[in-house]
A and B are shown apart, each in its own frame.
Chain A
Amino acid sequence: MRVTNQMLMDNALTALARSLEKMERTQEQLTTGRRIIRSSDDPVGTSKAMGYRADLARLSQFQSNLGRGSSWLAQTDAALSSIGDLLTRATSIALSQASATATTETRTAAAAEVQGLLDEAMLLANTRFGDRYIFSGERTRTAPFVEATDGFLYVGDADAITEEIASGQYVQVNMDGLSAFCSPASAIEGTGISGSPMTSETTLADLGITPGSIRIANGGQTTTIVLTAATTIGDVIDAINDSGARVTAEFNTGCTGLVITNLLAGANLAISDVVPGTMATDLGIADSCGPSGALGALVDLKAALEADSTLSIQSAGQNVEQTSSELLNNRATVGAKMSRFEMATDRLDSQLVSLTEMLSDNEDADLARLATEYSLQQTAYQTALAVAGRLAQSTLLDFLR
Chain B
Amino acid sequence: MGNLLGSLYIGSKSLAAQLAAMRVIGHNIANANTEGYTRQELILQTSIPDMSPVGPIGSGVEAAAIRRMRDSFVEARLRTGMETLARWEKKYEVLSDLEVVFAEPTDDGLSAAMTEFWNRWRDLAGNPEEHGLRASVIEQGATLANTFQYVYNDLRQLRENLDESLSLSVMQANTYIRQIAALNEQIVSAELSGDVAPDLRDQRQLLVQELSTIMDVDIDDSEAANLCVRSHGERVVDGPHYMQLELQYNVDTQMQDVRWAGTQAPLTVEGGSLYSILEGRDTIVPAYMDDLSQLAQDLILAVNRVHSSGRGSIDFSAITSLCGVNNTAVSLANIAETGLAVAPTSGSFQIIVTDSSGQAQTTTISVLDGVTDSLDALALRINSLDHISATISEGKLTVSAESGYTFGFANDTSSVLAALGINTFFSGSGADDISVAPGVAADARLVAAGLSLDAGDGDNASAIAELEYSLTVGSGRWSFSDFYRDMVTGLGVSVQETGRFVAGQENVVNQIADRRASISGVSVDEEAANIIKYQRAYEASAQFIAAVNEMIEYMLLQMM
Which residues in A have their C-beta under 8 angstroms from that of B481?
50-51, 54
**Roughly how many angstroms separate A284 CA and B47 CA in the complex, as a whole number?**
136
A196 at the interface (CB under 8 A from B): no
Answer whether residue A141 sits at the interface, using C-beta atoms and an 8 A cutoff.
yes
Contact of B528 among A41, A65, A395 (CB under 8 A): A395
Question: In the complex, what residues of A have CB within 8 A of residue B457's CB?
Answer: 138, 159
Closest-by-CB residue of B relative to A2 is B518
Q: Is B525 in contact with A395, judged by CB distance below 8 angstroms?
A: yes
Known A-B contacts A5-B524, A58-B115, A167-B469; the reply to A400 vs B532 at CB < 8 A is yes
**Contact of B466 (CB < 8 Å), options: A50, A60, A168:** A168
Interface flags for A380-401 (1: CB within 8 Å of B; 0: not) read 0000000000000001110010
Collect the chain A residues with CB atoms within 8 Å of residue B492's CB. 38-43, 46
Query: Which stretch from B196-204, B250-258, B288-296, B483-491 is at the chain A interface?
Result: B483-491
B492 CB, min distance to chain A CBs, angstroms: 3
Interface string of B84-96 (1 = CB under 8 A from A): 0000000000011
A46 to chain B: which residues have CB within 8 Å?
Answer: 104-105, 488-489, 492
Establish whether residues B105 and A39, one from each chain, have CB atoms under 8 Å apart when the complex forms: yes
Question: How many A-B pairs with Cβ below 8 Å?
Answer: 178
How far, in angstroms, from A379 to B527 measured CA to CA in the complex? Answer: 35
Query: Do B469 and A168 have beta carbons less than 8 Å apart?
Result: yes
Instruction: Give B83 Cβ to nearest chain A Cβ, in Å.
Output: 20
Q: Are B523 and A161 in contact (CB under 8 A)?
A: no
A50 touches B104 (CB 8 A): yes
B residues near A57, Cβ cutoff 8 Å: 112, 115-116, 119
**Mask for A156-176, Cβ within 8 A of B = 1, else 0?**
010101111001101000100
Complex CA gap A280/B61 in Å reads: 136
- Which residues from chain B contact A396 at a C-beta distance below 8 Å? 524-525, 528-529
Stretch at the interface among B125-133, B348-356, B408-416: B125-133
Cβ of B495 within 8 Å of any chain A Cβ, yes or no, is yes
Residues in chain A near residue B524, CB distance under 8 A = 4-5, 395-397
Closest to A5 in B: B524
Q: Are A138 and B105 in contact (CB under 8 A)?
A: no
**Known A10-B517, A68-B127, A157-B454; contact A162-B112, beta-carbon cutoff 8 A:** no
Q: Is A348 an interface residue (CB 8 A)?
A: no
Q: Does B456 contact A (CB under 8 A)?
A: yes
**Given A50-B488, A132-B456, A139-B456, A1:B518 Cβ within 8 A:** yes
Instruction: For the complex, give the distance between the alpha carbons of A69 and B115 in Å.
Output: 22
Q: Does B54 contact A (CB under 8 A)?
A: no
Cβ of B304 under 8 Å from chain A = no
Task: Report the separation of the CA atoms of residues A42 and B492 in the bound assembly, to the nearest whole angstrom.
Answer: 7
Chain B 415-458, CB within 8 Å of chain A: the 1/0 string?
00000000000000000000000000000000000101011111
Within residues 17 to 64 of chain A, which ones have a CB less than 8 A from any CB in chain B?
Answer: 36, 38-44, 46-47, 49-51, 53-54, 57-58, 60-61, 64
Q: How far is the CA of A50 from the CA of B492 in the complex (A)?
A: 13
Mask of B139-155 contacts with A, CB within 8 angstroms, 1/0? 00000000000000000
Residues of B close to A60: CB separation below 8 A: 119
Please determine whether B517 and A39 come into contact, CB atoms closer than 8 angstroms: no
Residue in B119, B488, B519 whose CB lies within 8 Å of A39: B488
Instruction: Give the residue of A47, A49, A139, A164 whose beta carbon is less than 8 angstroms from that of B454.
Output: A139
Report chain A residues within 8 Å CB of B271: none
* Chain A, residue nearest B529 (CB): A396
The yes or no answer to A149 lying at the interface (CB within 8 A) is no
Q: Is the CB of B376 closer than 8 A to any CB of chain A?
A: no
Cβ–Cβ contact A161 & B458, under 8 A: yes
Chain A residues with Cβ under 8 A from B518's Cβ?
1-4, 7
**Number of residues of chain B lying within 8 A (CB) of chain A:** 65
Using Cβ atoms and an 8 Å threshold, which residues of chain A touch B484?
A: 50
Which chain A residues lie closer than 8 Å to B513 at the CB level? 10
A142 to B118 CA separation, bound complex (whole angstroms) = 29
User: What's the nearest-Cβ distance from chain A to residue B299, in Å?
Assistant: 15
Contact between chains at B522 and A4 (CB < 8 Å)? yes
Residue contact B458 to A141, C-beta cutoff 8 Å:
no
Shortest B464–chain A CB gap in Å is 12
Q: In whole angstroms, how far apart are the Cα atoms of A157 and B220 in the complex?
A: 89
CB distance from B266 to the nearest CB of A (A): 33
Across the interface, B126 reaches (CB within 8 A) one of A50, A65, A131, namely A65
Using CB atoms, name the residue of chain B closest to A400: B528
The interface bits of chain B over 507-534 (1 if a CB of A lies within 8 angstroms of the residue's CB, else 0) are 0001001100111011111101100100
* B278-310 CB contacts (< 8 Å) to partner A: none
Chain A residues bordering chain B, tally (CB within 8 A) = 58
Asked whether, in the complex, the Cβ of B33 is within 8 Å of the Cβ of A6, the reply is: yes
Minimum distance in angstroms from A42 CB to a CB of chain B: 8
Q: Which B residues touch A395, using CB under 8 A?
A: 524-525, 528
Partner of A61, one of B104, B122, B466, B519: B122
Whether the Cβ atoms of B112 and A61 lie closer than 8 Å is no
Interface 1/0s, chain A 68-83, versus B by CB < 8 A? Answer: 1100000000000000
Q: A113-136: contact bitstring with B at CB < 8 Å (1 yes, 0 no)?
A: 000000000000000000110001
Most chain A CB atoms below 10 A, which of B123, B492, B495, B519: B492
Query: Smallest Cβ distance from B397 to chain A, in angstroms?
Result: 29
Q: Which of A6, A140, A142, A363 contacts B105 (CB 8 A)?
A: A363
Contact yes or no, A40 B105, CB < 8 A: no
Q: Is B17 in contact with chain A by the CB < 8 A criterion?
A: no
Query: How far, in whole Å, are A371 and B114 apart by their CA atoms in the complex?
Result: 36
- Whether a CB of chain A sits under 8 angstroms from the CB of B465 is yes
* Contact residues in A for B514 (Cβ distance below 8 Å): 7, 10-11
Contact call A54/B454, Cβ cutoff below 8 A: no
- A257 in contact (CB, < 8 A): no
Given contacts A6-B521, A50-B104, contact A43 B125 (CB under 8 A): no
Chain A residue with the shortest CB-CB distance to B455: A141
Q: Residue B499 at the A interface, CB < 8 A? A: yes
Q: Complex Cα distance A162/B465, Å? A: 13
Contact B489 A2 (CB under 8 A): no
A164 to B461, CA, bound (A): 11
In the complex formed, the residue of B with least CB distance to A37 is: B105
User: How many Å lie between the Cα of A50 and that of B96 in the bound state?
Assistant: 19
Do the beta carbons of A163 and B111 come within 8 Å of each other?
A: no
> Does any Cβ of A come within 8 Å of B496's Cβ?
yes
Report if B99 contacts A (CB, 8 A): yes
Chain B residue, CB-CB nearest to A57: B115
Q: Which single member of A2, A36, A41, A159 contacts B519 (CB below 8 Å)?
A: A2
**A170 close to B469 (CB less than 8 A):** no
Across the interface, which residues of A come within 8 angstroms of B486, CB to CB? 47
Q: Are B456 and A138 within 8 A (Cβ)?
A: yes
Report how far A161 CA is from B128 CA in the complex, Å: 10
Report how far A39 CA is from B458 CA in the complex, Å.
Answer: 38
Q: Which residue of B lies closest to A140 (CB)?
A: B456
A106 within 8 Å of B by Cβ? no
Report B-chain residues with C-beta under 8 Å of the C-beta of A138: 450, 452, 454-457
In the bound complex, residues from chain B placing their C-beta under 8 Å from that of A141 are 129, 455-456
Is A14 an interface residue, CB under 8 A from the partner? yes
User: How many Å lie between the Cα of A142 and that of B81 in the bound state?
Assistant: 79
Distance of A317 Cα from B490 Cα, bound (Å) = 74
With contacts A46-B488, A46-B492 known, is A5 near B32, CB below 8 A?
A: yes
Closest to B105 in A: A49
A164-B123 Cα distance, complex, nearest whole Å: 9
From residue A168, how far is it (CB to closest CB) to chain B in Å? 6
Contact B485 A43, beta carbon cutoff 8 Å: no
Nearest Cβ on chain B to A306's Cβ, whole angstroms: 36
A163 and B462 CA atoms in complex are apart in Å by: 9
A68 to B118, CA, bound (A): 18
Per CB-CB distance, the 5 closest pairs between chain A and chain B, nearest first, are A39-B492, A43-B492, A140-B456, A40-B495, A4-B521
14 other A-B residue contacts (CB within 8 Å) besides A40-B495, A137-B454: A1-B518, A10-B514, A10-B517, A39-B492, A40-B493, A40-B494, A46-B488, A51-B485, A53-B105, A53-B111, A65-B123, A132-B455, A139-B456, A159-B452
Give me 5 A-to-B residue pairs in the complex whose CB atoms sit less than 8 angstroms apart, sorted by A's number.
Answer: A11-B514, A138-B457, A139-B455, A159-B452, A397-B528
